[in-house]
Amino acid sequence: MAEDFHYSADEYLLLGKITKAHGMRGEVKVFLYSGQPENIRSYKELFLIDRQGELFGPLAVLRSRDQAKLAIVQFASVTDRNQAEEIEGRGVLLAKTDLPEIPEDEYYWHQYIGKAVVDVTGKNLGRVAQIFRTGLQDVLVIKGIDADEEILIPVTREIIVGETAGELTVDPPPGLLELNSGS
């Protein structure tokens, strides 16, 4: 996943990976890590990164459509199957400056990943390692102080009660932390 590609996380957001060429006109299938292939339509240009860290682009996005959990994307500069096959396996990046603005009560996943998490008493629970989406809400995966510990916390206004640049404060309902620890 993200660890396969080396890029400036301050400048770019890794959206997904080109899985394979599609058709004869240069389209490619892109697996989006967010699980929301429809989002790629809102980006005018993207960058590609190979496993050695070489950056390509920007590439203008001509069109995109969903196919199950993938997006079928046509880049302006990729016009045939041979060119599409040449970019298979590359990561798809978006410049963070190109992210659409969102309402104040919403967030982008990358804004939470890496943040420390404390409860309302100040107890350090760990850091947000990843986020995944359920049918109802996003869920934070927190790697605890103990390397083997993993805590799952739903992202709701009632549970995440505070945020600073480097920290989230949570007020989990009774039993949630114990449920996660298996005690």
In the chain, where the domains are located: 2-97, 109-181
Q: At residue 84, what is the residue type? A: A
The CATH number of the domain covering residues in 2-97: 2.40.30.60
Find the angle CA(73)-CA(29)-CA(133) to the nearest 5 degrees: 95
**Chain center to CA of 131:** 8
Judge contact between 26 and 81, C-beta under 8 A.
Answer: yes
Residue 183 has pLDDT above 70, yes or no: no
- Whole-model pTM over 0.85: no
Check: CB of residue 49 under 8 Å from CB of residue 7.
yes
CATH number of 109-181: 2.30.30.240
pLDDT of residue 132: 87
Residue 64 CB neighbour total at 10 angstroms: 19
Average per-residue pLDDT in the chain?
Answer: 89
